[in-house]
Amino acid sequence: MNRLVRRALPAALLLLAACNPRTPVALAPLPDRPWTVLPGDEVKVRVYREPELNGQWVVNGKGEVFVPGLGRIMAAGLTADSLSGLITAGYSKRILDAIVDVGILRSLPVLGQVHGPGIYQAEPTMTVQQIVAKAGGIRGTSLQTPTFLLQKGRDGSRYSLAADLRLDRVSLEEGDAIIVVDPSFIERWSPWAQTLNQFGSVINIVLTMLLFSKR
């Protein structure tokens, strides 16, 4: 019996882990915090009538970005508007009537039921629907309205997103992804997932009791 228990217990634990939902959809609303610049983001600058200053530069691991004519700027932690104001103010001191356009680009995975799942460059002014369109749009959903989710890279938690929500109102962090799901799929499989989860819990408890009873 001890040999059987020792063989069955790891399998039961794996079953329990597989059945346990690791990425639940959060019931609380998504925090209304704007995204801020992160290392790895790209800063796109255009200075009108000054083409030699135009370009696109990557924020380094220290959170700095090198901008021609201004040098290194600590960009990490700034919102898109704050960074734009900082760069514009810097050029205004050097260029008469400077007209500056600053943008931020971030690589954002778009996954799930889209035609071209992958990593796409997102801008703060884009909506959720627009970044999904860059991935080829929604694929193979039912007649129900598809669900847009933000999956957090740090813990796998998921938040529901409105299609017309601007990305600059989402606190996007490294490892986060936009996922498109079909609500009918969730409805069909949710009862089965709960049943398997309960079944796995029972197996885990029984086998653990058997293991300790034979010591």
- Taking the C-alpha atoms of residue 41 and residue 104, their distance in angstroms, rounded to an integer, is 7
Task: Say whether both 97 and 169 belong to one domain.
Answer: no
Residue 97 lies inside a defined structural domain of this protein? yes
Q: Which domain holds residue 138?
A: 2-35+123-213
Task: Say whether both 142 and 165 belong to one domain.
Answer: yes
pTM value is 0.68
**pLDDT single digits (tens) 37-86:** 999 999 999 999 999 999 999 999 999 999 999 999 999 999 888 999 99
Which residue in 174, 137, 136 sits closest to 152, CA to CA?
174
Question: CB of 110 within 8 A of CB of 178?
Answer: yes
- Taking the C-alpha atoms of residue 154 and residue 175, their distance in angstroms, rounded to an integer, is 7
Give the CA radius of gyration of the chain.
24
Query: What was the pLDDT predicted at 21?
Result: 45
**pLDDT single digits (tens) 123-160:** 999 999 999 999 999 987 554 678 999 999 888 888 99
Residue 189 lies inside a defined structural domain of this protein? yes
Residue 118 lies inside a defined structural domain of this protein? no
Question: What's the total number of domains in the chain?
Answer: 2
Q: Find the mean pLDDT for residues 11-28.
A: 46
Query: Would you place residue 212 in the very low, low, confident or very high pLDDT band (cuts 50, 70, 90)?
Result: very low
**44, containing H or E segment:** strand 42-47
